[in-house]
Structures are given as structure tokens and as C-alpha cells.
Amino acid sequence: MSDLTARAKELDAADELAAKRAEFVLDDVVYLDGNSLGALPANVPDRVADVVGRQWGALRIRSWEESGWWTAPERIGDRIAPLVGAAPGQIVVGDSTSVNVFKALVAAVRMAGEGRDEIVVDATTFPTDGYIAGSAARMTGCRLRPVVPSEVASVLGDRTAAVLLNHVDYRTGRLHDLPALTAAVHAAGAYVVWDLCHSAGALPVGLDAHGVDLAVGCTYKYLNGGPGSPAYLYVRSDLQPRFDSPLPGWNSHAEPFGMRPEFEPAPGALRGRVGTPDILSMLALEAALEVWDGVTIESVRAKSLALTDFFLECVGTYVPEGAVESLTPVAHEERGSQVALRCQGADAVMKRLVERGVVGDYRAPDVLRFGFTPLYVGFADVERAARVLGELLG
């Protein structure tokens, strides 16, 4: 047994979250792609069967009231709220991340008012966020200004309406400074929209504590909600009366069943709803969130950093010098819950890793991505992944 193998065994034995692994459907594969799609929580299949067979099959239309379908978007939003540092009543679940980015960004521009005609967007963002920001700019008559996060503070001014940023860079795993960037946007009199897709469920966010205006995120990564599970929208409580969604729908109406031609927005975060909720995937998400019972996001963050530290150490030991280059910051305050390694022939290397039972993913042109979900990834998984990578590259 190597020193690293023995250390992995000791770390797993001392891991306070180790028991959570049994609450997921897993096999002997090392699954390090939870930053793309989280593993299946074991309680979800029976819950979905009940939703389909009893709630839909037997109760049918009665389930909107008797099974709580109607209130699911805000109820599940309140379940997500503690994981992102938000008080109840500020998060509504539904639609995709892209749709929620559009709602939030256009609403931010509308709140900013006349004279502010510039949208600043993270130039390194996930492409869809950039596409949506461009469309929102055209729709609102704004100029789109893409800049890297480190330059955001220097370009803000009295024409800035809204700023769209990613909390964690999806390619490199770099964690951006949400408190400082939020404060800089506010100092310029603008509104900030944060994309939390790669941070929610992996590390503390502190939306309320840092005065974030608007935030969006998906639920199928670290929240393990399932493929295509609905996203969420956060609207800070004091901004809710001014939140003017560009997608008003009957579900966001103050009187949904009034069927009146004039739109009157619902109070609170409910005005972020649009149409009929996607009940099957939404209730699967609600079941999946039960794995968070008894878990603090601080304990998840501590394990995440320990896992990524250990992985980088194992890579440094097992992988031949010069074969890979880490794009992920060493400093804890700058690291999310993934490690990105630049590697020649990365696409082929990842395919070979998968064949050997280590699942990560590849991003063009040369990046191997490994995501660490602390609720079910252990230190032995980390050691094995690095060892297999070393064998393939050595």
C-alpha cells in the first residue's frame, strides 16, 4: 500500500460526511463529473413513482392542491435558500438557467433606469450566458461590454446598468470574489446578477450577507436534481416590489385564475414565475434535496477543499512532470470544487480514463475537468483517479 493510498484510507475514516455516500446510487466507478450532472440520490426513484402513480395517476387534478403542486416552486426555493445563504421568500424554482438569466438581467436594466445603458458581462462566461446577455442588451437598447472578472471594477461607471458574473469559472474552477465584486457594482449604482451554477451546493455563497441583487443557478450539478432539473431565481427581498420580469405569465399574476387581460404581478419572489411548473422534474428535485438534511454548507466546503488539495498532491506524485498543468488556483479563496488540468490530447485521455473507471469530462481544446461533490466523493476515489491518470500518461 502506497503512502497516498494509506492516507486516503485514514482521511475517509475521519470524514464526517462519509455516511452520505450511502444515500446515492453509485457503483465502483470513480465519478468526478458532478459539476456537470450530480449522482442520483437513492430516495428519488420511489418519490417519482409516487408522483406519477398516485399523485398524477390517482389524484390527477386534485394534486395541485392536495399534493402541493401549486406551491412547489417557492417551497423548493426555500429548501435551496440555506445552501446559498438566503432567507426564505426570495427564491423561486422553475424554468432553465438561461431563461432565469434573461429574466434577471432585463429586470436589472429596468430597475437601473434611464441613463444607464451598458451591460457588463464576464468575457469568460459559459457561452449561453453571453448569448442571453447579448439578446438582453439588444432588447433593452444597451451596449454589451464583455470583460474578464478581474477588470470589472475598472470599467464600471454611471452608464452601467447591470453586471452578469459567474461565481466559479466553468473551465478552470476559479472562484471569483463575490463580496468585493458585488460591492464594486453597488458603488457604481448598478445591479449585479450572479450565476451560481458551479458554486451552489459546493461552497458558501452568502447572497443575503453580501447584498447580492439577483442570482440564478441550475440544480442538476452539486444539488443532484437530475438531468434538466429546473433552475432557480433569487430576487433580494427589498427589490421584489420593483422586479419587472420580461416574461410575465399567468403563474406570476397576482390573481392567476382571474384570467384578466391586464397583468398585475404577484407579490414577492412569485413574480419570477412564468407558466405551469414542470412538476415531475420539480418534485424529483425536492426529493433529491433531502440528502442535505443534517449537512452544513461549511462542512461541505471544508471537505471540498481537502479533496481538491489531496487530488493536486496525488497528481503531483503520480503524473510525470510536465504532462499536465493545473489551471485551478492553489489558493483556497480562489478555488471552487473542481480541478482543471491542461493536457495534450485531453479528449483522448479522458476517453481512456472513462474506460478505466474514472469519469471526468473534457473541455476544448485541452482541458481535463474533475468535479468533486463532497456528499459522495471520497479520498480513495481521489487517489485512484490520480493514480490511473498517472498510469495513462506515464
Catalytic pick from 102, 191, 220, 372? 220
Is 310 one of the catalytic residues?
Answer: no
Q: Of 271, 274, 252, 280, which is closest to residue 96 (Cα–Cα)?
A: 274
Catalytic pick from 31, 126, 170, 191? 126
Is 347 one of the catalytic residues?
Answer: no
Tell me whether the omega of the peptide bond preceding residue 365 falls within 30 degrees of 0, making it cis: yes
Q: Of 195, 191, 217, which is closest to residue 94 (Cα–Cα)?
A: 217
Catalytic pick from 116, 145, 221, 335? 221
Is 220 one of the catalytic residues?
Answer: yes
Q: What is the DSSP string of 199-255?
A: TTTTS---TTTTT--EEEE-SSSTT---TT---EEEE-GGGGGG---SS--GGGBSS
Q: What Cα–Cα distance (Å) separates residue 167 from each residue in 60, 78, 175, 228, 267?
A: 40, 21, 6, 21, 28
Q: Of 231, 238, 53, which is closest to residue 129 (Cα–Cα)?
A: 231
C-alpha cell at 74: 417557492
Is 301 one of the catalytic residues?
Answer: no
Is 342 one of the catalytic residues?
Answer: no
Catalytic pick from 195, 213, 361, 381? 195
Determine contact, residues 302/278, Cβ cutoff 8 Å: no
Catalytic pick from 369, 372, 376, 379? 369
C-alpha cell at 200: 451552489
Cite the active site residues.
Answer: 126, 195, 220-221, 369
